[in-house]
A and B are shown apart, each in its own frame.
Chain A
């Protein structure tokens, strides 16, 4: 199964991606976490830590540095340039922008290409997309089995979420997450902007706020906090089928 996570910057995409990845892995699934943001942060939410996240090599940069002749297959790239995260999650950073004039972003290895070419082969791929709508617009049917759209109760985040739902729903299954919900008024605001859809509620959670502050994985800080529990339940629902033996 391939899961892509979309939404406005700061809506909680990376927290959702990292926590769902860890929960799936703890339930016995083989998980590949693909960081498709040119400002890669998924390592932090997976529990790798900010310092190690900063040292992770982007596949694109790895291939371009090219000490080996060429890594021809996506699986080879995952093997060669990926890193191990807790609970056996394999983390792959697609691309990072670290210099002026970093070269054409369409050429070379792109996040879209990695997502497209990764076979799931019994594995669950969860992809943290770049903030905004670019990758959702380029998503072709079949590139992801489900898109999780993360919505917050602010006017700007709702506008991005609303458009992401409209774009993605033409191509694949969409699940809307109402994130950082404090009360009924927050939920009503999200429901009004994105009507006629089931909303998975992720409550505002002090554990997640503390994990964000300190650069930790929420699931390591408190796996039983309400926000983390909502994401664990989401992971169970996404997994659906029983765990392969």
Chain B
């Protein structure tokens, strides 16, 4: 270990050997975990800034929509909510929608930054990390972050007494899956972008309308027949309806539809992740 000895020689003339110390070939798993660790480290250094928001957002929404708006809805004795208080109807869906928004965001600026601004991905790629490992780090972290957001939201729901049943906890993994179904294809697309133009379009014409019209705040049956099918095209309604059915215990009323929800969500997530890996390879190895 002449190398190690040399390095301990302080500011002597031999900090580095003439030739490398033979860094061993790394396994793909280890490389992927190293990329993930970077995101985790970033979070550890900045979590204080976001933790308040993670609690505040569910509280604000549940108070405004669940209690405020819900008071009116419940007073109208409307049967569209399946006979449960509005806040109970709303809570699992709001969890999934909120997680979706956070995950979609993770697919935009952090990815654009990794390629174009702080060029984090390029720094990673000049080491033994492969594009696959880098893509894994990003999407793996997005899944973690989504699960954390969902778990905090779930806790707030329980504290509000807004949980329909203990099955509310299923909303957390459904939220994560829905998040991936959005984040992965968005990340694949953002890897090709040079500026934030696409971000604005994605938000204005995609995320915000979906958030409002995917059955979170009212059943999609309220939508005109002509546009109701749109809800089927995008993953959010599938996640919303599945989480709600599980939470309210109505999942067996229409098990085929619920299974279809799960299949469609999974398909979006898997195709999205594959697309992301392909695009990361293309964008990095030019």
Q: Do A and B bind each other?
A: no
